Amino acid sequence: MKKYTGSRDPRFVAIHRGGSLDPETHRLLALWAADCAAHVLPLFHAQHPEDDRPRRAIVAVRAWARGEITMMEAREAAYAAHAAARHASDSTAKNAARAAGHAAATAHMADHELGAAAYAIKAVRAANTEAVKAGIEEREWQREQLPEAIRNLVLSDQELRNKKLWSLFKP
């Protein structure tokens, strides 16, 4: 097995790949990402009720966390959700689908957890006239959903990658 030697945060790289991420923490990150994406999924379905690819991505990552499907199956669902985003009609739907894609991708690379959260915030902001206020409310909702076991890890990741992710995680 190839060991991790890249620039990713080793806290989000699995132990068997040379990082420090244990399987239980990885599972919790994936489930939290799924919750973030599921919270905004209705924004996608309002525009594209016939397209279930983002919903299937959320189902897939939850199934992966339960050990019911492989990482590769979850990753394929992530690709499908991102394809749905590319075909979505507006930024609200695109961002909601991307949130689902990143949630499912968390099974492959745990640091996609923040992509799910960020795109969920972007979806909410795009859907609301008071975008900044809506984004802050979504961010706070997400933080309330954080299991205690991963709270500090995720909040630290938000602080470290805030600028890269459109400064959506400001205090």
Give the tens place of pLDDT for each residue, 1-54.
445 455 889 999 999 999 999 999 999 999 999 999 999 999 999 999 999 999
Q: Is 3 among the domain residues?
A: no
Q: What are the pLDDT digits (tens) for 76-108?
A: 999 999 999 999 989 999 999 999 999 999 999
The pLDDT of residue 4 is 45
Helices 71-87 and 91-105: angle between axes, nearest 10 degrees: 170
Q: Is 91 among the domain residues?
A: yes
Q: Is 15 among the domain residues?
A: no
Q: Is 111 among the domain residues?
A: yes
Q: Is 167 among the domain residues?
A: no
Total number of domains in the chain: 1
Distance CA(120)–CA(39), nearest Å, equals 8
Give the structural domain span for 111: 21-161
- Could you tell me the sign of the dihedral formed by the alpha carbons of 72, 7, 21, 25, in that order? negative
Q: Is 154 among the domain residues?
A: yes
Q: Is 8 among the domain residues?
A: no
DSSP 51-101: --HHHHHHHHHHHHHTTSS-HHHHHHHHHHHHHHHHH-SSHHHHHHHHHHH
